[in-house]
Amino acid sequence: MGCAEAYNRLGQHYIFSYDEDDPQKAREYHLKAGEMGYALAYTDLAWSFTREYIFSDNDYEKAREYYRKSGELGYGKAYWILGKMYEYGEEVEKDYTQARDYYLKGVELNDGDCCYYLGELYYRGLGVEKDKEQAEKYCQMGLELGCEAPEVRRIFFK
């Protein structure tokens, strides 16, 4: 059967190797590792569908599908990426409510970046009712969980 992390590393090798780059083989290894339950592999696979300079077949719908799978396996950073896609309208229609929902899923997984970005939505009143107390709560939580976004310190910790 093999080790999921090893398959994922092989996938990374076939993307970043100077002498053996093979994007299709990379995707096959990432998919195999993801199917074995390795969440980061689905994130790496999703990433491959958003990088035209490496892969010629961008497919943001597939990317979102694999980011969701990664999040469902417990990788909070995947929800942060999905949330940003919807917050900023990156290859999808801008939808602050959808962004909020993804950030909340990441908050449940203790992802600091999701906490911070959710705090930003509360601070600006996007997809949620404007609420500075909630904003500060989530931004503080983000800092405690390792988010180092300079905007957090600028807004709340002058």
% of the chain residues with pLDDT over 90: 73
Task: Check if the beta carbon of residue 49 is closer than 8 Å to that of residue 43.
Answer: no
> Which pLDDT score is estimated for 2?
77
> Which pLDDT score is estimated for 147?
87
To the question of pTM greater than 0.85 for the whole model, the response is yes
> Which pLDDT score is estimated for 73?
98
Domain ranges of the chain: 1-74, 77-158
Comparing 144 with 151, the larger pLDDT belongs to 144
Confidence grade of residue 46 (pLDDT, cut at 50, 70, 90): very high
- How many Cβ atoms from other residues are within 10 Å of residue 157's Cβ? 10
CATH architecture label of 77-158: Alpha Horseshoe (1.25)
End-to-end CA gap in the chain: 53
124: left (phi over 0), alpha (psi -120 to 50) or beta: alpha
> Which pLDDT score is estimated for 158?
45
Average of pLDDT values for 129-151? 88
Helix ranges (DSSP H) in the chain: 4-16, 23-35, 39-48, 60-72, 76-88, 96-108, 112-124, 132-144, 150-156
Q: What is the pLDDT of residues 49-89, one digit of tens each?
A: 888 766 677 889 999 999 999 999 999 999 999 999 999 99
